[in-house]
Structure 1
Amino acid sequence: MTEHDVVDAALRHYHHAGPRPDPADLARIRGAVLARTAAARRPARLRGVSVAVAASVVAATTIALWPESPPPAPSATPAGPDAGAEAITAAGSVSATVDLIVRRVANAEPLDLRDGGGYLYTADRSVSVQSATGPDGPAHYVTEDVTERWSVVGEGTAPKLMRLTRGLNARPLTPADAAKLARYGADYTKVTTSTYEPSSHPKLAEAPSPPGLANPTPAYLASLPTDPGGLLAVLRASVDAKGTDADRQVFKAGAALATTTDALLPPGLRVALYQALARVPGVERIPGRVDLAGRPGVAIAHTHDGKRTEIVIDPATSRTLGYRMVTTAALDGMAPGTVVYSVTKNQKIVEHLGDL
């Protein structure tokens, strides 16, 4: 098979990435790919690898040359080392961190809600510490769950369909826990997937809750105040607690709003929300970078009763990566600094219920 044959086969294999090109376009792209292949020629014994890599490049080339929609606008984040992100990471106080982050809010484009049509698809990946009990006390293990929800765009985040996968990547928290789990015969690595529909889960068939912090519809988000003091008052009015516990609850309510509706937040509301969180008494900046599911971010947090709740923000885009809970003291046999729970979210608009 000649190189022309290999490239033609690759083009035909990937043609579904965009509308079918006409012969003239196909010849032009074939020539460009072959020219790149020749420029990056390897010794004969590696030539097969070079052609295979060229074929994979063709897939991206077809998407770029025959888009079905206008190409995305270039990212507002500069290429290469990002001095702004480095400054945010180096900031030591909550106020300095938030002041720098809000300058990046323009980089976080909200989702196109398509005039309220379609469904909001939300995928949560949570990592938590669970335990199995036996004669030698609790044995801890780390496990991951993925919760997928489909909700009507105009009705908020109340799901119409849910899929829950439990038990992913389960592993002992420590070697001592591994020994206990083996002795207990705990079946903690079993993976299960359950799907819940209105026909099988009456709760999903109910009318959605009224718009509010518990069910933030796009219209409700648009109605919220975009000044930090006013938004902080809304968060305080939503909790039923006093003193330091009230501050903890307010921070959790704000963190939940930031993560649950991250991709829906208008820029002005995102700015106000971060600034409101920075005003909650007891909020601190966690030094350095925080890694959440392989993504580096900066964290602001509130500590209460031996646990620290952190919201993790992408310093490049100002989007929230998720949140986590960390022990600040020995708790239930776990050492200080143990991440007992973390969750990352992904949101997008899909056309039909169940679409990915």
Structure 2
Amino acid sequence: MSDQLFSQLKPKALDEMTAEAYQRRRDGDLAQAFATPVSRVAWRVPRMPLFLITGTVAAGLGIAAALVVSGGVQPAAPKPGVAVAQPSTSPALDARSFLLAAAETAAGEPAGSGRYWYTRQTTAQRVNVAPDEYIKRITSLKMELDRRSQKADSTTLDKEALLKELELPYDAYTTSTTDTWRAVRKGDTGGSVRRAAKITFGSPADEAAWKASGSPILSRDRPGMRKDDIEPVLSIGNPGITLENIADLPTDKEALKRRLTASYDSAPAGGGGLATHLWQSAVDLLTAPTTPGTRAALYQMLADQPGIDEKGEAADVTGRTGTALSTTGADDVRYDLIIDPRTAELLQYDVVLAGKTAPTLRVVIEQAGWTDRLGERPRG
């Protein structure tokens, strides 16, 4: 029993930290790196971070369980706790009108194709628990349970209380970026390039508090290059959607909504409800290689959802400008998007927990598109 309990309590982030970082390299350098033989490993593709907050804070996407999380903005970008949305200086559309306009734009974009779907994403996430301390405490508890009994009903452990006890008393974040190539054809091998995460703090006082506590290690990220021939999950709430069949998704908003709702009905999870599931699914698919028709249907579907507010013009952490949208789920978790009105591309999204002002999670989609060679970025 204690072995199983230990496995359940240990966050996935401690097995494989997802603070994937990159170094801006020439395409030739990346191609050469992928041509170099490496040991094969079971590499889990990061799940879309919005689902970190579905249900409980501990419900993770493979990026982390939000217990020990990693990510961040680029060094020159604002800290995760600094709002980047700016008041619009021109009359703003309401959210529905903007989303319908985005649908028209998406429908007019050219359809692409290739052997690999490439993305470059920078992630900022708040670190809630120092991984070494967490492992130390869980190991100690496991040994204690071993001493007491092997019966499953002999003792109980309040996991949430343990996490609360170990929660860091200061704001710390990790910065990471990953270049990912997802193979479309069976037999092709995809991969990613990443570097170690960079730690940042919400304020000088937070950094001082970290040093005063002994400067504990806040990230156990394992940087490097990985090859992978495991089919990635494109949308954790819709496991039946793959790179092989994503082009077959409906291009009619009602049919698409029924398709996504069926996944929710078969395995509802979390306290956000169906509306949050549809919102999160849309974000997943807007960063996936959907067809122009499906992307248009996603925006049309969102336009029909209540509770989405248009916040005017905003800049993401790289300085790109777009239109900010925001919605709050039934679990009081707020989700913010920045969308480029010229291309209908998703630039950035934030997740803000109930009662918080700074994002617990921020993801910047720096580039996405098709390429035919592993290690090369899309042109244009």
Distance 1:178-1:95 versus aligned 2 partners, 3 A rule:
same
Equivalent residues in 2 for 1:52-63 (5 A)?
none
Answer whether contact 1:143 1:171 (CA < 8 A) is retained: yes
Q: 2:373 aligns with which of 328, 335, 352?
A: 352
How far residue 164 of structure 1 moved from its aligned partner, in angstroms, is 3.0
CA-to-partner distance for each residue in 1:300-356, whole Å, 9 max, x for gaps? 3331334211232101211121322124523xxxxx2x1221112322333433344
User: Any idea what the Cα deviations from partners look like across 1:94-113, whole Å, max 9, x if unmatched?
Assistant: 21111232343366434343
SS of residue paired to 2:197: strand
Match of 2:276 among 231, 248, 252: 248
Structure 1 unaligned regions, length at least 5: 1-85, 198-203, 331-335
Structure 2 residue 286 is matched with structure 1 residue 258: yes
1:342 and 2:362 correspond = yes
2:294 aligned partner:
269
Q: Write out aligned runs for 1:59-70 (5 A).
A: none
Q: Contact 1:322–1:344 at 8 Å: present in 2 too? A: yes
Report deviation, 1:178.
Answer: 1.4
Residue number in structure 2 paired with 1:171? 200
- Corresponding residue of 2:338: 312
CA distance 1:343–1:88, change in 2 (3 Å): farther
What is the Cα deviation at residue 275 of structure 1?
0.9
So what's the TM-score if we normalise by structure 1? 0.59
Q: Which has the higher contact order (CA 8 A, sep 6+)?
A: 2
Change over 3 Å in CA distance of 1:110–1:311 after alignment to 2: farther
In 1, the alpha carbon distance for the partners of 2:167 and 2:250 equals: 53
Task: Output the CA distance in 1 between the equivalents of 2:328 and 2:178.
Answer: 27
Offset at residue 155 of structure 1 (A): 5.5
* Superposition map of 1:93-112 within 5 A: 93-105=94-106, 108-112=109-113
- Residues 108 and 341 (structure 1), Cα distance of their counterparts in 2 relative to 1, 3 Å cut: farther
Preserved CA contact (<8 Å) 2:88 2:313: no
Whether the aligned pair in 2 keeps the contact of 1:132 and 1:138 (CA below 8 Å) is no
* Corresponding residue to 2:318 among 293, 298, 318: 293
The answer as to whether partners of 2:107 and 2:295 remain within 8 angstroms in 1 is: no
Deviation at residue 215 of structure 1 after TM alignment? 6.6
Q: Distance in 2 between matches of 1:210 and 1:303?
A: 23
The CA deviation string for residues 192-221 of structure 1, in whole angstroms up to 9 with x for no partner, is 523333xxxxxx444677999447456523
Is 1:139 matched up with 2:167? no
Shift of 1:276: 0.7
Q: Which amino acid aligns with 2:307?
A: G
Partner of 2:209: 180
Q: How many residues align?
A: 250
Residue in 2 that maps onto 1:223: 248
8 A contact 1:132–1:140 mirrored in 2: no
> Given the superposition, is the C-alpha separation of residues 182 and 132 from structure 1 closer, same or farther in structure 2, using an over 3 Å criterion?
farther
> One-letter code of the match for 2:177?
V
| Matching residue's letter, 2:281 | A
* 1:303 correspondence with 2:300: no
Larger strand proportion, structure 1 or 2? 1
Point out the structure with the larger helix share. 1
Quote the Cα distance in structure 1 between the aligned partners of 2:250 and 2:103. 16
Secondary structure of 1:138's aligned partner: coil
Distance 1:112 1:351 in 2: 9
Task: Report the RMSD for the aligned CA atoms in angstroms.
Answer: 3.7
1:149-164 aligned at under 5 Å gives the runs: 149-154=180-185, 160-164=190-194
Unmatched runs of 5 consecutive residues or more in structure 2: 1-86, 134-165
3-state DSSP of counterpart to 2:373: coil
* Structure number with bigger Rg: 1
Q: Does the Cα contact within 8 Å between 1:232 and 1:277 map onto a contact in 2?
A: no
Matched, 1:126 2:115: no
